[in-house]
Amino acid sequence: MKIGSISENLEFEKRIAITPEIVKKYLSLGFEISLTENYGSHLGIKDDEYLKQGVKIFKDENEILNNSNLILQLGMLSDEKSSLLKKNQTLIGVLNPYNNKEKLFEIAKKNINLFSLELLPRITRAQSMDILSSQANLAGYKAVIESFANFEKAIPMMMTAAGTVPAAKVLVVGAGVAGLQAIATAKRMGAIVFATDVRSASKEQVESLGGKFLTIESSENMETEGGYAKEASEDFKKKQEELLSETLKKIDIVICTALIPGKKAPLIIKESMINNLQSGSVIYDLAAIQGGNTAFTEVDKIIEKNGVKIMGESNILNKLPISASSLYSKNVFNFVDNLFDKETKKIEIKLEDEIIEKTLIK
């Protein structure tokens, strides 16, 4: 069985799917690995590091795609590269099925196995493969670092002979994996942290990290069976807006992390609410690529409204590509290990396995 991976478009994606440290695990299962020349050079990983482990390096990406049983990537292949895929090959990556639905359907019709890892079920057995958790964890951390770097005041409280500098007040909107890491990071750096989430079950997690949970009384169940947030009702949104409008008057930094899988990000911070923030405040919107949680978010731009900076990037993990690649490559290996039958030495697509059934694009 042969595994291949070709270089991503570095303008959009700096992460890689196979790191040198994970190679030996694939080899121990009996796989051969082929990579593009300079596959990890942008991360400081030389081809020699792969060659020493027994990886084959090719200049021609098409040769890798033609000869691999499994192709491991971050994002979707280009149309040109997708057209080279053949019957019974398997492509594993973050294929964004909500935006690439028609393209993926056409590829799947050729009897090519497509697995999109963001569709993994939130079950205990899938935790080691959960790319959303591993990558969101880093994104939540980096969002705090980026917003603090653009905030022109000190973060922790400082008592000096000249007077006291008050601690910055941070509001985290959405207490999923990214939000919880944002809370923990901001708290470690000395900020006073508040958080809100449509899922009341998040309260205990927020408070365990030292954050103050802002509660909206509601009888609605705002959580899906898979542990994700549901889209809120109009009544809930109105209550949330009232709470946030008042809270924002005392907030310095807002970290937005609210996403609904497969849908446009909910608009939470409206124009009138931004006017409640003091000049010099910062909003970092992790939901930018899906439309943003604020009224003015623009991807890869810093927008200023009434002295408030609003930031959002298409891929914040491009600023942590080494750490992100290390975690992603381990997630992918664990997924492949689950697919691989140790006796037949083949990929076995067992649809009775919830992990395989949920991630396979049919």
For the stretch 253-297, pLDDT in tens is 999 999 887 788 999 999 999 999 999 999 999 999 999 999 999
Is 127 among the catalytic positions? yes
Angle subtended at Cα 243 by Cα 240 and Cα 245, rounded to the nearest 5 degrees: 105
pLDDT for position 294: 96
- Band of the pLDDT at 222, cuts 50, 70, 90? low
6 pLDDT more than 70: yes
SS3 of 55-80:
CEEECCHHHHHHHCCEEECCCCCCHH
% of the chain with per-residue pLDDT over 90: 86
Is 125 among the catalytic positions? no
Considering just the CA atoms, what is the radius of gyration of the chain in Å?
22
Is 300 among the catalytic positions? no
pLDDT for position 109: 92
Q: Which residue of the set 41, 127, 233, 278 is catalytic?
A: 127
Same fold, 2-119+321-359 and 136-318: yes
Q: Which residue of the set 7, 47, 53, 122 is catalytic?
A: 122
137 pLDDT more than 90: yes
pLDDT for position 231: 64
pLDDT for position 200: 83
- Which CATH number is correct for 2-119+321-359, 3.40.50.720, 2.40.10.10, 2.30.40.10, 3.40.50.2000? 3.40.50.720
Class of the CATH-defined domain 136-318: alpha beta
3-state secondary structure of 22: helix
Q: Which residue of the set 34, 50, 130, 202 is catalytic?
A: 130
Question: Do residues 281 and 253 make contact, with C-beta atoms less than 8 angstroms apart?
Answer: yes
Is 233 among the catalytic positions? no
For 141, list phi and psi in degrees, rounded to 5: -65, -50
pLDDT for position 268: 93
- Band of the pLDDT at 362, cuts 50, 70, 90? confident
Q: pLDDT, tens digit, for every residue of 70-93?
A: 999 999 999 999 999 999 999 999
**80 is written with which tokens?**
């040109």
Q: Which residue of the set 34, 89, 133, 205 is catalytic?
A: 133
> Helices H, strands E: what count in the chain?
12, 17
The domain locations on the chain are 2-119+321-359, 136-318
Is 135 among the catalytic positions? no
Which DSSP symbol is given to 293? S
pLDDT for position 359: 96
- Distance of alpha carbon 248 from alpha carbon 254, whole angstroms: 9
Q: Which residue of the set 228, 245, 323, 353 is catalytic?
A: 228
- Distance of alpha carbon 13 from alpha carbon 39, whole angstroms: 12
Q: pLDDT, tens digit, for every residue of 191-201?
A: 999 999 988 88
